[in-house]
């Protein structure tokens, strides 16, 4: 699954609760909020999680700042977003070894309020005790060690699978 490194959860929570919206900041090109985008269809964006606990963890969000998962989207917009989630999850499962794909919406009005879905591929062979929420939590073992080469390779493979342009030109 890859080497894990410590994660400063207190600093992360402070940023999530007191900093600007990380998705809007990324979309606006604010330094320090860069992510590897794998899909941008004009209405939705999908990008690699900067703090993954599983290889290839991707976030999917509407480009517009929406804070209510159900009430903030019409039924048509919600279903359109779910089609993107399904498409990205299918691509992820095709690109990384996957026993099961986890799809969940997290966030809170108190932090990380921009609606987004987490898509995470559970690798085959992970013991049951380390699956489900345990596989997604940063509090225990931390996050996957940073690897720009691995991340760019994965992002390029996902962009190819999703049929989109490669913004890095690789």
Higher-scoring residue by pLDDT: 7, 167: 7
Q: Classify domain 4-162 by CATH number.
A: 3.30.428.10
What average pLDDT does this structure show over 137-166? Answer: 86
Q: Which of 6-20, 43-57, 58-72 has the lowest mean pLDDT?
A: 6-20
Computed from CA positions of residues 27, 31, 32, 38, in that sequence, does the dihedral angle turn out positive or negative?
Answer: positive
How far is Cα 17 from Cα 70, in angstroms, rounded to an integer? 21
Res. 170 pLDDT band, cuts 50 70 90: very low
Question: What digits encode the pLDDT tens for the residues 33-54?
Answer: 999 999 999 999 999 999 999 9
Q: What angle do CA 77, 81, 84 make, to 5 degrees?
A: 145
Whether 34 and 24 have beta carbons less than 8 Å apart is answered as no
Q: In whole numbers, what is the pLDDT of the chain averaged over residues?
A: 90
Helix or strand (DSSP H, E) at 153:
helix 148-162
Domain ranges for the chain, please list them.
Answer: 4-162
Tokens of 38: 């794998």
How far is Cα 68 from Cα 61, in angstroms, rounded to an integer? 12
Res. 124 pLDDT band, cuts 50 70 90: very high
**What spatial distance separates the first Cα and last Cα of the chain, rounded to whole Å?**
25
DSSP-based helix, strand, coil % in the chain, nearest 5? 35, 25, 40
Long-range contacts of 150-155 (CB under 8 A, 24+ apart): 151/36, 151/48, 152/36, 154/36, 154/48, 154/55, 154/56, 154/95, 154/96, 155/36, 155/37, 155/38, 155/48
How far is Cα 111 from Cα 9, in angstroms, rounded to an integer? 13
What average pLDDT does this structure show over 109-119? Answer: 92
- Does the pLDDT of residue 77 top 90, yes or no? yes
């Amino acid at each position: 699954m890859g080497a894990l490194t410590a994660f400063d959860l207190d600093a992360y929570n402070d940023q999530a609760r007191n900093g600007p919206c990380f998705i809007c900041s990324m979309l606006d090109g604010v330094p320090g909020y860069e992510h590897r985008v794998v899909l941008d269809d004009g209405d939705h964006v999908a990008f690699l999680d900067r703090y993954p606990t599983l290889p290839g963890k991707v976030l999917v969000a509407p480009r517009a700042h929406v804070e209510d998962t159900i009430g903030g989207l019409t039924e048509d917009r919600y279903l359109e977003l779910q089609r993107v989630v399904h498409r990205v999850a299918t691509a992820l499962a095709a690109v990384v070894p996957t026993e099961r794909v986890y799809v969940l919406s997290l966030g809170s009005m108190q932090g990380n309020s921009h609606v987004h879905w987490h898509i995470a591929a559970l690798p085959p062979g992970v013991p049951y005790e380390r699956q489900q929420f345990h596989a997604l939590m940063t509090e225990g073992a931390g996050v996957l060690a940073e690897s720009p080469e691995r991340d760019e390779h994965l992002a390029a493979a996902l962009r190819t699978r999703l049929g989109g342009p490669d913004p890095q030109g690789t």
